[in-house]
Structure 1
Amino acid sequence: MAMAFKMATTGMWVTEECKSSFWEMKWKKVHRYIVFKIDEGSRLVTVDKVGGPGEGYDDLAASLPTDDCRYAVFDFDFVTVDNCRKSKIFFIAWAPTKSRIRAKVLYATSKDGLRRVLDGIHYEVQATDATEMGFDIIQDRAK
């Protein structure tokens, strides 16, 4: 098995692929976003989907299931008022109202462990529907 990082509070493990994909997004700008999911059987947090550098926030939002929980990170690039290019990484905890209670509890209790492994996250958004994680919310939080 590939190297994994244990999240002590829940007994979940974060795969090396999660960490390496995040570093590729953060430093090499290879990915625009990454969606993570928990495999309840193996107790592993794995990469579910990766968005290429040409994809945007709408692609991320469309890739989240309407009936199951996920974690996502999004690299938001913007230009400040004084014409300076900046990048902020958002962590999104997605728990739609249609998802199972067990999944909601599992994702809620595992969130902090994954965030510790993914070093360099600037902001967190928790959402149960698309309106709670709209692009306008991301823009407002970054500025």
Structure 2
Amino acid sequence: MLTTLANSPEIPRPLGGVGDVTGSALCYKPHRPRLRQRENTITSEVTVEDDCISAYWELKAKRDVNTVICRLDDGFTTCRVERLGNLTPDELVLTLPANEPRLAFYDLPFATVDGTRQSQVLLVSWLPEKATSQSRAAYSQALCALVDKLDGSELSIRAREVADLAYDRLASHARAGKQTGDSVDGIDSATTPGGPGLALPET
């Protein structure tokens, strides 16, 4: 359909190309409804299923799991649990898809600077560069909805590549979060939509 419209002699091709909605103001009207539909999809409210919250509390209770991975349905409207498990940090990396976002709770064990063994529940927002911009935006909305239902003791981490999930890097940020308390007050809340968060430094 797009090819037919673009090749029609009655409708000029936009300067930025068929799919371009960011460059020129000369984008012609047949693409406007498509842009509005995409925006509505991204900004629609995301519903968090109760199983996500139940799994979070099960993880915090130190029962049978240390990992909860959540995903959105194909319409980007509902967030539900995809997988529960006991994973090492390396296994967590292997479990996350290379080209799709995910949200994951992970109970990370680490040692403080004085050698004390502790743990910190991380809320990992996995937004790989290979994912579509629409899916990344939808998972950002889901993150907001999820954080609103939690108790504030989780430490939010944004990751865009595998290196961001290396154990040493996660442990470093967990130690930084513990220094300010479980509520991670004082960490720049602007880095994670809808709540406190900690952005990983650019590499």
Query: TM class, shorter-chain normalised?
Result: 0.7 to 0.9
1:45-86 superposed Cα distances (whole Å, 9 cap, x missing partner): 01111112xx21111111100011101111012343555432
Q: Identify, as 1 or 2, the structure richer in strand.
A: 1
Question: Taking every aligned residue pair, what percent have the same amino acid on both sides?
Answer: 27
Partner of 2:98, secondary structure, is coil
Aligned pair 1:111/2:111, yes or no?
no
**How many residue pairs get matched?**
133
Partner of 1:26: 60
Partner of 1:19, secondary structure, is helix
Asked which structure has the greater RCO (Cα within 8 Å, sep 6+), the reply is 1
**TM (normalized to structure 2)?**
0.60
Partner of 2:80, secondary structure, is strand
Question: Which residue of the other structure, out of 160, 165, 182, is the alignment partner of 1:133?
Answer: 165
* CA RMSD in angstroms, aligned pairs only: 1.9
- Amino acid in structure 1 at the alignment position of 2:73: D
Partner of 1:6: none
Aligned pair 1:88/2:120, yes or no?
yes
Answer yes or no: is the 8 Å Cα contact 2:124–2:157 preserved in 1: yes
Cα shift at 1:42: 7.2
Larger Rg: 2
Aligned pair 1:50/2:84, yes or no?
yes
Partner of 1:39: 73
Whole-Å separation in 1 of the counterparts to 2:140 and 2:82: 18
Unmatched runs of 5 consecutive residues or more in structure 2: 1-42, 176-203
Unmatched runs of 5 consecutive residues or more in structure 1: 1-8
CA gap of 1:40–1:119, structure 2 versus 1, over 3 A, is farther
Whole-Å separation in 1 of the counterparts to 2:159 and 2:76: 26
Whole-Å separation in 2 of the counterparts to 1:104 and 1:82: 38
